Amino acid sequence: MIGFQRLRSARPASRRVRLRKPTNFASETAPIEDRFRSGKLLGVGVMSPKVLVISQLPPPVHGSAIVTQILVEELTASSAEIRLADRRFSKEVGDIGNLSGRKVVAAVGLLGRVLRMSRHADCAIFFVTNRPASFLVDCVISLVLRAKRIPTLGYVHALGYERLARRGRVWRQLVRIHFSCASTVVCLSPRLAHDVAPFVRKEARIETVPNTILDVDDIPARSSCHGVVTYFSNFIPEKGIADFIALSRSISDIRFVAAGSPVDEEQLGQLRRDSPPNLEIVGQALGRDKRDLWSKTSILVFPSRYEFEAQPLTIIEALSKGIPVIAYDVGGVGDLVDDGTNGYLLPEGDVAGMKRAIEGLINNSDELARLGAGARNTFIDNHSRSAFRNAWIKLLGDYA
């Protein structure tokens, strides 16, 4: 086992932002896995790496927590030795972004876990954040990993670092320090890569590995109850639940369904009381309930106004099932939804435009089928589990 290996220094000084092509990875799945397990991915006789993952598993259920679960599953199946330093600061969706004394204590505990668990790690995969309070914790952890000479892959799941740097000179310097500690920065899409590129040191790599989803099923048979317009996301305001309710009020002859985790039971009850007759608020849908709802869905509406959206898993899940997506062009959503190919992309807050798109699509079976085929092709080409697994195996080959 080779411990604490540094990234090779003989790299060109120019910035490299590379999009991993899933079609290439999928074609060489078995050879890559065999070489990874045998320790011969780079042609050298070393064992698979010991990897420290700094992130959290669900609950609460949100994108980066689910991707953490997928990453741990795939790397463990590929014979990497994984240790998870759980950075769980929030127990419920409504707690995300709110500072509390309990979270301060949790941050101190996280630092202790990283110090203890990094002793025998060959590298660390660090799910970094950009909410100011959490970001400050990340800065401390990054400096600790650098002091311990642990090669770090910073895993970026949100836009907003450039905006964070605009808070002032001190914040800009902190963002630079934070990313200077990473030997490789892994982003979900080109928009996220360009957001962090100014802060990554020249000798480090920037790699782009698109998200995948937890459960990849075949396209379900369409239910006889055709024409359901669905919202799959948390019910926090910035995700656009209010816009979805407004859409359901304005198109009374179409059935709408909203599924997701509420902030609390009081919010769920209020949403149900305020909903028009053609809108069903089901709350969190899991397992068979979720599969049944997807099977009835003709269009996914993603009206998020969150400016730092990265690659929402609910959109990828819709694409995997051949369901067109209508969304606002915020954050990295435009890297997923190709307007006119797998759905429609609209300016943030354009509820009227979203209404026209829904009405035009739900009554046009040919267009619905064309965009559905485009959605499925987007998933196969860019977001399969094999593409995700092989991308990470290749990345970790440098640290085995």
- Is pLDDT above 50 for 205? yes
Does residue 107 lie within any of the structural domains?
A: yes
- Is pLDDT above 90 for 45? no
What CATH number is given to the structural domain containing 64? 3.40.50.2000
- The neighbour count for residue 180, using CB atoms within 10 Å, is 14
Whether 330 and 266 share a structural domain: yes
CA–CA gap between residue 173 and residue 250 (Å, rounded): 48
Whether 101 and 53 share a structural domain: yes
> In the prediction, which pLDDT does 98 show?
57
**C-alpha angle 321-324-325 in degrees, rounded to nearest 5:** 115
- Is pLDDT above 70 for 86? yes
Whether 184 and 237 share a structural domain: no
The token duo for 343 is 């759905």
How far apart, in Å, are the Cα atoms of 227 and each of 81, 97, 342, 400? Answer: 46, 36, 17, 50
218 within 8 A of 188, measured Cβ to Cβ: no
Mean pLDDT of 183-203: 95
Does residue 222 lie within any of the structural domains?
A: no
Whether 22 and 168 share a structural domain: yes
In the chain, count of helices (H) and strands (E)?
A: 15, 13
Does residue 28 lie within any of the structural domains?
A: yes
Mean pLDDT of 298-306: 96
> In the prediction, which pLDDT does 90 show?
54
248 within 8 A of 275, measured Cβ to Cβ: yes
Whether 260 and 360 share a structural domain: yes
Does residue 287 lie within any of the structural domains?
A: yes
Whether 197 and 319 share a structural domain: no
Identify which of 20-24, 62-66, 268-272 has the greatest average pLDDT. Answer: 268-272
Write the burial class of residue 49 (CB in 10 Å: 0-12 exposed, 13-18 middle, 19+ buried). Answer: buried
Whether 34 and 172 share a structural domain: yes
107-124: per-residue pLDDT in tens?
889 999 999 999 989 999
Whether 283 and 326 share a structural domain: yes
- The neighbour count for residue 250, using CB atoms within 10 Å, is 15
pLDDT range class, residue 62, cuts 50, 70, 90: confident
CA–CA gap between residue 359 and residue 371 (Å, rounded): 15
> In the prediction, which pLDDT does 102 show?
72
> In the prediction, which pLDDT does 263 show?
82
- Is pLDDT above 60 for 1? no
CA–CA gap between residue 165 and residue 135 (Å, rounded): 11
Does residue 4 lie within any of the structural domains?
A: no
> In the prediction, which pLDDT does 323 show?
95
> In the prediction, which pLDDT does 41 show?
37
151-161: per-residue pLDDT in tens?
999 999 999 99
39 within 8 A of 396, measured Cβ to Cβ: no
Whether 112 and 238 share a structural domain: no
Question: In degrees rounded to 5, what are phi and psi of residue 282?
Answer: -100, -10
- Is pLDDT above 50 for 312? yes
Report H helices in the chain: 22-27, 29-38, 63-77, 101-117, 132-147, 161-165, 169-180, 190-196, 241-250, 265-274, 287-296, 313-320, 351-362, 365-382, 385-396
Whether 137 and 173 share a structural domain: yes
215-256: per-residue pLDDT in tens?
776 554 443 346 899 999 999 999 999 999 999 999 999 999
User: What is the DSSP-derived secondary structure letter of residue 273?
Assistant: H
> In the prediction, which pLDDT does 232 show?
95
Task: Name the strand (E) or helix (H) holding 257.
Answer: strand 256-259
Mean pLDDT of 338-360: 97
Count of domains for the chain: 2
Mean pLDDT of 42-46: 36
pLDDT range class, residue 16, cuts 50, 70, 90: very low
Q: Which domain holds residue 116?
A: 17-210+384-399
**Interior/surface letters 359-386, b for 16+ CB within 10 angstroms, e for the rest:** eebbeeeeebeebbebbbebbeebbbbb
> In the prediction, which pLDDT does 23 show?
33
Whether 239 and 201 share a structural domain: no
Amino acid identity of residue 214, one-letter, is: L
**Residue 59: which residues within 8 A CB-CB, separation 6 or more?**
65, 91, 92
pLDDT range class, residue 32, cuts 50, 70, 90: very low
> In the prediction, which pLDDT does 99 show?
54
User: What is the DSSP-derived secondary structure letter of residue 203?
Assistant: T
Whether 120 and 202 share a structural domain: yes
CA–CA gap between residue 243 and residue 226 (Å, rounded): 22
Write the burial class of residue 56 (CB in 10 Å: 0-12 exposed, 13-18 middle, 19+ buried). Answer: buried
Does residue 221 lie within any of the structural domains?
A: no
For residue 130, the cross-strand partners are: none
> In the prediction, which pLDDT does 42 show?
34
Does residue 11 lie within any of the structural domains?
A: no
Percentage of the chain modeled with pLDDT above 70: 82
> In the prediction, which pLDDT does 31 show?
41
Mean pLDDT across the chain: 84
- Is pLDDT above 70 for 373? yes
Does residue 72 lie within any of the structural domains?
A: yes
CA–CA gap between residue 183 and residue 31 (Å, rounded): 26
